[in-house]
Amino acid sequence: MFVVKVPGINGLGKTKGCEKAGNAILKSLNEIYSNEENKPINTKLLDLEEIHLDNSNLEITNKLVYKNSSEIFQEKPRTIFIGGDHSISYSLTKSFFDYCKKEKKKPFLLVFDAHPDCMEPAHKDYPTHEDWLRSLIESGFPTENILLIGVRNSDQNEITFLKENKIKIISMNQILDDLQGAGDSITEFSQGNELYVSLDIDVIDPAFAPGTGYTEPAGLTSREFIYLVQRINRIKNLKAVDLVEINPDKDIGNLTVKLGAKILSELI
């Protein structure tokens, strides 16, 4: 598994600190001896890189993320990108979309998030963590190939946008009613297509993941989330995962960083 740190932030000043997540998660990963499949975890053996970014220049940041990830998609069978805030997902998924078009593959996108991130774009060239998915859709990503999971706080304009574009959603109540069934639905949706998965840590209840900018009550437990991650990791056509919005500066007892390391350990 190829692991890439992407310390990009464009959260309207609200996500400062997320750029530190990559290093913090990898440091915490040293405390995990094996994952739940009993696979040994040794950070020294990781195929690890970083896209070095200057967050004061959003134009260059977006171009670097797009360019580097384009090369990665061509060369690597599977990659984990560690953010950063959710704004990095625009350039990553746009690159993924263009890669799929070039290779004549069908791009599918799973997004775990407490919010739909479909606000009216603040700047069309530099999507923020609040509007990156809308910007991706407006750039041409097929809406029928997008599945949102765990959304529980949406702006009215976002609700309208999601309905107009017929975006599929698995709600929190659907997950709680039947966790295994939700896993089955995710697997069925993803089968046979090139898959990108975006994991915003705020999909998890802040009792388990307080270290993020937008804590939303009544989210997934860490156990439920790990179960779904394990299911997703078994999908053969999984091309890439990003893990975003972990903020060590806002963490309590290192809980969120440790959970990020746990998620990473189950993916590698």
Tell me the per-residue pLDDT of 125-165, one tens digit each, with 9 for 90 and over: 889 999 999 999 999 999 999 999 999 999 999 999 999 99
Q: List, in order, residues 6 or more apart from 178 with CB less than 8 Å away.
A: none
Q: Domains in the chain: how many in total?
A: 1
How far apart, in whole angstroms, are the C-alpha atoms of residue 260 and residue 213?
A: 15
Q: Can you spell out the DSSP letters for 64-109?
A: HHHHHHHHHHHH-S-EEEEESSTTHHHHHHHHHHHHHHHHT--EEE
Q: 33 with 41: CB under 8 angstroms?
A: yes
How far apart, in whole angstroms, are the C-alpha atoms of residue 43 and residue 45?
A: 5
Q: Which residue has the tokens 């990898």?
A: 26
How far apart, in whole angstroms, are the C-alpha atoms of residue 39 and residue 46?
A: 13
Tell me the per-residue pLDDT of 11-39, one tens digit each, with 9 for 90 and over: 888 999 999 999 999 999 999 999 999 99
Between 98-102, 190-194, 258-262, the lowest mean confidence (pLDDT) is in: 190-194
pLDDT score at 238? 97
pLDDT score at 12? 81
Tell me the per-residue pLDDT of 200-231, one tens digit each, with 9 for 90 and over: 999 999 999 999 999 999 999 999 999 999 99
pLDDT score at 268? 93
Residue 257, domain CATH: 3.40.800.10
Tally the residues of the chain.
268
Angstrom distances, CA of residue 181 to CA of 45, 84, 129, 237: 36, 31, 29, 20
- Given a cut of 90, is residue 266 above it in pLDDT? yes
pLDDT score at 217? 97
How far apart, in whole angstroms, are the C-alpha atoms of residue 50 and residue 36?
A: 27
pTM for the full model? 0.97
Give the model's confidence band at 189: pLDDT under 50 very low, under 70 low, under 90 confident, else very high: very high
Domain, as residue range, for 175? 2-267
